[in-house]
């Protein structure tokens, strides 16, 4: 890296001109000991004097009009301190990641929607109060299936989302029928009809994917402290500033009066990105009662009330020549939004991978987002890309088999060089070819027919599959990300970052960046995070944005702080500030390394009672370059044709992320993503009763997330390549490794047992059916 291109406001710091001393080391996460030893204090552990408990009354119907609510008996119950419903807050709008939503609408649109809430001296009283609330419902017909909901005769769903042109995530207009914003999103290039004419083989398929739930270990919990003027929210969210924004707006308070604190976070996977609906009710109750309020959702409430990954159906048709050249692609993806969704229709993200990943001159892809009477949908680890990659990469293997070509060769043959195939915009970096080679080599792809003989006998069939992907993880609008670095007289350093460490090791990563840039040991740096009090505005930790967005800001802040320190130190060392270099706690003059002092000694030069403080801020990505991360996975599976069971034995996962800041933390993301992906592919099968819309398995027993027994051997490979726009080139890994799991496992099942399965999850009944063994 020679040129200073770091995406920061103002002049970027010069690239570090020495080998790394901290970056690239597997430093254990700094909050690890507290977490595994049980001393970490989560929001739900906080006890405040006079604290009340809140509970929410939820609607039992999938669609109903509320005719009347009588809360008088609940209010009269001794111990009840506040009751809210549409009686006292009929027009209240809450905000979920700034998307306005009705708090207590007249029409309730899914089973589990909030109807009232109470705060009482204990849970028992709160629960008894809920039972005393009388609600008259007029039941309305409900629609659960998005294709059904698109029909002109369909029952109209009343979404929770309210259009708002000032919020980029909110719908711009009311739906027409049940169609989001009254329109679909279409990506096209070339001439579809001609493309299919040019094809030797045309294949059409339908792909279905199921909802996926986050099933975070920590159930949502918060403690809200209101002193009559200021509010402190102890929360379990993924973005303290975002929750502060949402709650302030919802309660009509200035943002500076709503401080949000997350000390530790017990899993979010996207689901805790903005202020959750439950938090608005609890905050309102705290204001009304004038006492601290604690709320915690039960596990069933977790399932029914928080936004999860959408279910989809995709009709996909692709044409290919015998030599493997893709000629045309046409698709229509239907997205079940439920009654509302963070980021609305997900802004074409579902079809973007198919549009970009391979070179294909003629493409028409349509994304259709539909409201139904099912629960809210929203962010979840690669929410759309995991789905978009499934149908594309499944279809690629099908095409390869039809034309008798190796699936890896077909992918290489259609490798897309440009980020925008029409405008021919370049990528900032792309080494997907390398990822494909490394991941497939790792499981000996070349000899993938080694199982053929063994597979002829007995019920156990082995096979190998692969899938490639693109991911984001390069920052996202509005690119408002700032950090401060403080150097104290005693030689300690603080990074102040208004973000949340959601378990990915974000706090550790930022300490490492600051330590590297300052030239100190990482254990002299403390990251102060998860608190809007001492920090500047920063993004929420989701969309794999932390490294790409906060990384440059932290590096800039640290470089500025270092500069200030060098200005104090230079005279002592009889040198100019620009001649100084620091590494591992030592400051030296570059042309005469004998002249040096320790970092601590240098800090003593800070005037008494003062400290060095410097800031860094991200600027937006340039528009004429396309930014992505890329990767590929290859896996080996075993299919038992007697039982329909599928086991993933081995996964080789190669991800291109620019620079590995901390190998241990990066590898953990491969593990986590792949394990979660195996759940999505093989196990997690949310079931809703088709007549009532009631979820039948809102629990961790029958909603099956993987256990250690489902974890295969995982071989992570991290592909580094310079990308000077980012902090030491570092881009994201967080969400990406879940993306190719489903298609590569599905493709491997074909290789093993000769069956194509196009619906997720791939459970034993589907396998036995595909094998023709059952109806």
Give the span between the Cα atoms of 235 and 245, in whole angstroms. 14
Nearer to other proteins, 45 or 592 (CB): 45
Binding window for other proteins (CB under 8 A); candidates: 71-79, 92-100, 278-286, 688-696:
688-696
Locate all alpha helices (DSSP H) within 534-580, ordered by sequence.
551-569
Question: Shortest distance, CB of residue 645 to other proteins, whole angstroms?
Answer: 7
- Catalytic, 302? Answer no
CA distance 442 to 607: 57
CA distances in angstroms from 707 to 302, 425, 704, listed in the order given: 20, 43, 9
Distance (Å, whole) CA 586 – CA 591: 15
Nearest-angstrom CA–CA distance, 378 and 310: 7
- DSSP 3-state assignment of 253? coil
Measured CA to CA, the distance from residue 249 to residue 696 in angstroms comes to 35
Residues paired with 483 in a beta bridge: 497, 616
Residue 38 exposed, middle or buried by CB count within 10 Å (0-12, 13-18, 19+): exposed
- The answer to the question of residue 642 lying near other proteins (CB under 8 A) is yes
Sequence-distant (≥ 6) Cβ neighbours of residue 309 within 8 angstroms: 211, 212, 213, 377, 380, 383, 386, 387
Number of residues forming the site for other proteins (CB under 8 A): 45
- Residue 29 or 220 having the CB closest to other proteins: 220
Question: Minimum distance between the CB of residue 297 and other proteins, rounded to whole angstroms?
Answer: 9
Q: Which of 1, 412, 694, 721 binds other proteins (CB under 8 A)?
A: 694
For residues 41 to 60, the per-residue mask of contacts with other proteins, x marking binding by CB under 8 A and - elsewhere, is ---x---------------x
Give me the sheet containing 713-720, strands edge to edge.
Answer: 460-471, 629-640, 646-658, 713-720
How many Å apart are CA 97 and CA 114, to the nearest integer? Answer: 18
Which of 300, 534, 577, 663 touches other proteins (CB under 8 A)?
A: 300
Please identify, using beta-carbon distances, which residue of 593 and 707 lies nearer to other proteins: 707
460 vs 649 by CB, closer to other proteins:
460
Provide the minimum distance between the beta carbon of 299 and other proteins in the complex, in angstroms, as a whole number: 9
Stretch that binds other proteins, among 145-153, 307-315, 349-357, 692-700 (CB under 8 A): 692-700
> Using CB under 8 A, which residues numbered 376 to 395 contact other proteins?
none
Q: Using CB under 8 A, which of 14, 34, 106, 122 touches other proteins?
A: 122
- Map the footprint of other proteins across residues 443-482, applying CB under 8 A: 457-460
For residues 695-714, which are near other proteins according to CB under 8 A? 695-699, 701-702, 704, 706-707, 709-710
Q: Residue from 77, 692, 720, 754 that binds other proteins (CB under 8 A)?
A: 692
468: β partners? 632
Residue 690 Cβ, how far from other proteins at the closest point, in Å? 7
The position carrying tokens 């040198």 is 575
Q: How far is the CB of 702 from other proteins (least distance, A)?
A: 6
- Host H or E run for residue 163: none
Piece of 202-210, 226-234, 441-449, 764-772 that binds other proteins (CB under 8 A): 764-772
Closer to other proteins at the Cβ: 447 or 775? 775
Q: According to the binding rule CB under 8 A, does residue 423 interact with other proteins?
A: no
* Least CB distance to other proteins at residue 486 (A): 36
Q: How far apart are CA 350 and CA 456, in angstroms?
A: 39
Separation between Cα atoms, residue 671 and residue 620, nearest integer Å: 31
Touching other proteins, residues 203-222 (CB under 8 A): 219
What minimum distance in Å lies between the beta carbon of 468 and other proteins?
A: 29
CB of 597 to other proteins, least distance (A): 52
* Phi, psi of 436, deg, nearest 5: -65, -40
Q: Which is nearer to other proteins, 560 or 763 (CB)?
A: 763
Query: Could you say which residues in the range 5-44 bind other proteins, by CB under 8 A?
Result: 44
Closest CA to 164 of 103, 74, 102: 102
Give whichever of 138 and 774 is closer to other proteins, judged by the CB atom.
774
Map the footprint of other proteins across residues 645-684, applying CB under 8 A: 645, 683
Q: Which residues of 645-678 are buried (b: 16+ CB within 10 A; e: fewer)?
A: bbbbeebbbbbbbbbbbbeebbbbbbebbbbbbb
Q: How many CB atoms lie within 10 A of CB 348?
A: 19
Q: What is the dihedral of CA 172, 174, 177, 180, to 10 degrees?
A: 30
- Least separation, in Å, of the C-beta of 320 and other proteins? 34
- Interface with other proteins, residue 139, by CB under 8 A: no
Distance CA 728, CA 449 (A): 41
Out of 156, 437, 488, 769, point to the residue binding other proteins (CB under 8 A). Answer: 769
Which residue in 100, 177, 190, 711 sits closest to 422, CA to CA?
190
Of 444 and 765, CB closest to other proteins: 765
Contacts of residue 592, defined as CB under 8 A and 6 or more positions apart, other chains included, come to 575
Q: CA-CA distance, 97 to 377, in Å (whole number)?
A: 13
Q: Which of residues 511-570 bind other proteins (CB under 8 A)?
A: none
Give the interface segment with other proteins, choosing from 33-41, 371-379, 643-651, 725-733 (CB under 8 A): 643-651
Interacting residue with other proteins among 307, 344, 644, 658 (CB under 8 A):
644
From the list 356, 516, 549, 735, the catalytic residue is 735
Does residue 79 bind other proteins (CB under 8 A)?
no
Residues lying near other proteins in the complex (CB under 8 A) are found at 44, 60, 122-124, 219, 296, 298, 300, 457-460, 642-645, 683, 685, 687, 689-692, 694-699, 701-702, 704, 706-707, 709-710, 763-765, 768-769, 773-775
Question: Among all residues, which ones are annotated catalytic?
Answer: 735
């Amino acid at each position: 890296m020679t040129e200073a291109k770091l995406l920061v406001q103002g002049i970027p710091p010069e690239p570090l001109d020495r080998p790394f001393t901290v970056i690239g080391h597997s430093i254990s996460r700094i909050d690890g000991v507290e977490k595994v030893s049980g001393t970490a204090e989560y929001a739900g552990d906080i006890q405040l004097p006079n604290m009340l408990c809140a509970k929410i009354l939820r609607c039992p119907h999938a669609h109903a009009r509320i005719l009347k609510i009588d809360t008088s008996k609940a209010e009269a119950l001794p111990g009840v301190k506040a009751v809210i419903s549409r009686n006292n807050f009929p027009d209240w709008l809450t905000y979920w990641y700034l998307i306005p939503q009705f708090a207590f609408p007249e029409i309730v649109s899914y089973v589990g929607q909030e109807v009232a809430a109470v705060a009482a001296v204990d849970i028992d009283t709160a629960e008894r109060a809920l039972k005393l609330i009388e609600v008259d419902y007029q039941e309305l017909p409900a629609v659960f299936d998005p294709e059904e909901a698109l029909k002109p005769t369909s029952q109209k769903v009343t979404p929770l989302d309210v259009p708002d042109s000032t919020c980029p995530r909110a719908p711009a207009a009311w739906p027409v029928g049940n169609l989001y914003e009254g329109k679909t999103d279409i990506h096209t290039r070339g001439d579809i009809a001609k493309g299919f004419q040019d094809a030797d083989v045309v294949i059409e398929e339908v792909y279905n994917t199921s909802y996926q739930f986050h099933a975070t270990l920590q159930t949502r919990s918060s403690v809200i402290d209101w002193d009559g003027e200021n509010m402190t929210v102890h929360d379990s969210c993924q973005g303290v500033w975002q929750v502060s924004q949402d709650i302030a707006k919802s309660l009509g308070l200035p943002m500076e009066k709503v401080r949000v604190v997350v000390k530790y976070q017990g899993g979010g996977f996207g689901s805790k990105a903005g202020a959750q609906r439950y938090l608005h009710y609890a905050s309102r109750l705290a204001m009304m009662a004038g006492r601290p309020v604690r709320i915690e959702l039960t596990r069933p409430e977790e399932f029914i009330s928080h936004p999860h990954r959408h279910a989809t159906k995709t009709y996909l048709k692709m044409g290919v020549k015998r030599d493997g050249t893709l000629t045309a692609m046409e698709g229509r993806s239907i997205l079940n939004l439920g009654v509302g969704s963070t980021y609305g229709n997900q802004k074409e993200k579902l079809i973007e991978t198919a549009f970009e990943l391979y070179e294909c001159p003629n493409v028409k892809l349509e994304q259709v987002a539909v409201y139904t009477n099912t629960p809210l949908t929203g962010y979840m680890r690669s929410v759309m890309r995991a789905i978009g990659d499934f149908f594309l990469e499944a279809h690629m293997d099908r095409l390869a088999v039809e034309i008798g070509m190796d699936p890896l060769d077909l992918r290489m043959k259609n490798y897309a060089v440009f980020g925008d195939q029409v405008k021919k915009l370049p990528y900032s970096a792309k080494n997907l070819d390398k990822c494909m080679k490394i991941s497939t080599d790792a499981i000996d792809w070349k000899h993938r027919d080694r199982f053929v003989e063994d597979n002829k006998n007995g019920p156990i069939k082995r096979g190998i599959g692969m899938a490639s992907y693109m991911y984001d993880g390069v920052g996202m609008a509005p690119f408002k990300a700032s950090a401060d670095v403080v150097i104290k007289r005693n030689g300690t350093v603080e990074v102040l970052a208004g973000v949340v460490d959601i378990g990915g090791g974000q706090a550790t990563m930022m300490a490492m960046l600051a330590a590297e840039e300052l030239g100190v040991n990482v254990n002299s740096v403390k990251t102060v995070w998860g608190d809007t009090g001492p920090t500047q505005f920063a993004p929420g930790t989701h969309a794999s944005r932390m490294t790409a967005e906060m990384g440059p800001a932290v590096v800039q802040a640290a470089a500025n702080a270092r500069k200030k320190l060098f200005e104090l130190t230079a005279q002592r060392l009889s040198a100019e500030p620009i001649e100084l270099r620091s590494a591992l706690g030592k400051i030296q003059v570059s042309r005469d390394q004998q002249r040096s002092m320790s970092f601590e000694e240098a800090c003593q030069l800070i005037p008494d009672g003062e400290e060095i403080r410097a800031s860094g801020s991200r600027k937006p990505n340039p528009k004429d370059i396309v930014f992505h991360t890329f990767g590929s996975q290859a896996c080996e599976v075993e299919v038992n044709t007697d039982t329909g069971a599928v086991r993933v034995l081995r996964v080789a996962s190669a991800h291109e992320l620019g620079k590995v800041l901390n190998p241990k933390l990066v590898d953990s993301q491969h593990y986590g993503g792949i394990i979660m992906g195996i759940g999505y592919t093989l196990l997690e099968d949310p079931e809703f009763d088709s007549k009532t819309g009631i979820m039948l398995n809102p629990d961790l027993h029958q909603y099956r997330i993987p256990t250690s027994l489902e974890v295969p051997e995982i071989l992570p490979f991290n592909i580094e390549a310079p990308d000077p726009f980012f902090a030491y080139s570092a881009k994201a890994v967080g969400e990406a490794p879940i993306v190719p799991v489903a298609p590569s496992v599905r493709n491997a099942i074909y290789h093993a047992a000769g069956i194509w399965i196009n619906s997720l999850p791939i459970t034993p009944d589907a396998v036995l059916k595909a094998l023709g063994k059952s109806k």
